Amino acid sequence: MYHVDKPLWQYPFPRVAHIMASFSNYAYKDDAEGAKLFKQMGFKSEHIDVNSSQAFVLQNKHDLIFVCRGTEPTDMNDIKADLNAKPTMSSTGLGLVHQGFKTASDNVFPTLEKLIAKHGKTKQIYVTGHSLGAAMATLVAFRCQRSEHLPDPIALFTFGSPKVGMKEYIQAITESDITHYRFVNNNDLVTTVPPWPYRHFDECTYINHYGLIRGMSFWQRTKDKFRGMWAGIKEFRFMDGFDDHSIDCYQEHLDAWAVEEETRQAEQLAKIK
């Protein structure tokens, strides 16, 4: 459990990514357990649940974080949202998006809008989520950015995000000022759907088979994906793409990356002294 005791922008980027993955993970917990975990991390929380579309609004004296909850396999409304891939006009009026994801984000946005209007002018705003929650977070972030009366999010962090929109929408959000960090863990299957003509927003930060974040060419990444698939087969895990989608994997790998970066910075500082 990592406790946040200063503004997020003061932490190394890998640690911020880990913190966001932790938020996205704890959003799957029930209200009481989630609130307890968020409090241990240094944040007050408010749960939003509208027609089974769920999110948490977290805040401390520095930051306001909107965390969208991902798909719960036992919730039929979540499953319907994932499967309802009919293109529909986005809430920004700029291009077509996945109807199920739009409906889910529209459900929670009015409450978010009120809380941002109340607290967002004095705090830094971040938006994050995993799986369905990542898709919702993307739509919410752009809607905030396009609003004339809401402050812009500092950054959008997504983990295992499906594709959310078609060409015109993706062009519009790409041309906006939103800073997006999209993480993909090896063979995460959810990141490949829905199929064309849906597209991703922004390039991904790729986590390789060994759980490491390294710059890789297309062919190196392709080889690494086969390496992950073969490792799963040897261990009789034939659903490697689903295993890699687990938010626990993202949280674990990003924590290791953060520790690696913090150790490197500490060693550099020691040399200067």
Pick from 129, 113, 123, 117: nearest CA to 54: 129
Pick from 183, 116, 132, 117: nearest CA to 156: 183
**What values do phi and psi take at 188, rounded to 5?**
-50, 110
Cα dihedral across residues 211, 40, 72, 142: positive or negative: negative
Q: What is the pLDDT of residue 48?
A: 93
Among 21-25, 115-119, 227-231, the minimum mean pLDDT is found in 115-119
Residues 6+ apart with CB under 8 A from 141: 127, 153, 156, 178, 180
Q: Answer left, alpha or beta for residue 260, where phi above 0 means left and psi between -120 and 50 means alpha.
A: alpha
Q: Please give the share of the chain, as a percent, with pLDDT higher than 90.
A: 73
The mean pLDDT of 23-42, rounded to a whole number, is 95
Q: What is the pLDDT of residue 84?
A: 77
Neighbours of 77 (CB within 10 A): 17
User: What are the tens digits of pLDDT across the range 128-140?
Assistant: 999 999 999 999 9
Runs of H (alpha helix) within 61-215: 76-83, 99-119, 132-146, 167-174
Sheet holding 204-207, edge to edge: 44-50, 53-59, 63-68, 124-130, 155-159, 180-185, 204-207
Does pLDDT of 65 surpass 90?
A: yes
Does pLDDT of 236 surpass 90?
A: no
Which DSSP string do the residues of 126-151 spell out, in sequence order? EEEEETHHHHHHHHHHHHHHH-SSSP
Confidence of residue 78 (pLDDT cuts 50, 70, 90): low
The mean pLDDT of 212-233, rounded to a whole number, is 89
Cα dihedral across residues 163, 169, 171, 173: positive or negative: negative
Q: What is the pLDDT of residue 62?
A: 95
Question: Rounded distance, CA 22 to CA 38, Å?
Answer: 9
User: What are the tens digits of pLDDT across the range 95-108?
Assistant: 999 999 999 999 99
Which pair of structure tokens corresponds to residue 105?
């984000």
The mean pLDDT of 221-246, rounded to a whole number, is 86
Does pLDDT of 253 surpass 90?
A: yes
In terms of pLDDT, which residue wins out, 266 or 84? 266
Q: What is the pLDDT of residue 104?
A: 94
Which residues make beta-bridge pairs with 127?
Answer: 66, 156
Give kind and range of the element (H or E) at residue 248: helix 247-272
Write down the pTM of the prediction: 0.94
Question: Of 29-33, 48-52, 252-256, where does the model show the most confidence?
Answer: 252-256
Confidence of residue 238 (pLDDT cuts 50, 70, 90): low
My answer on whether omega of the bond before 194 falls inside 30° of 0, hence cis, is: yes
The mean pLDDT of 143-158, rounded to a whole number, is 92
Q: What is the pLDDT of residue 209?
A: 93
**What values do phi and psi take at 151, rounded to 5?**
-70, 150
Q: What is the pLDDT of residue 75?
A: 59
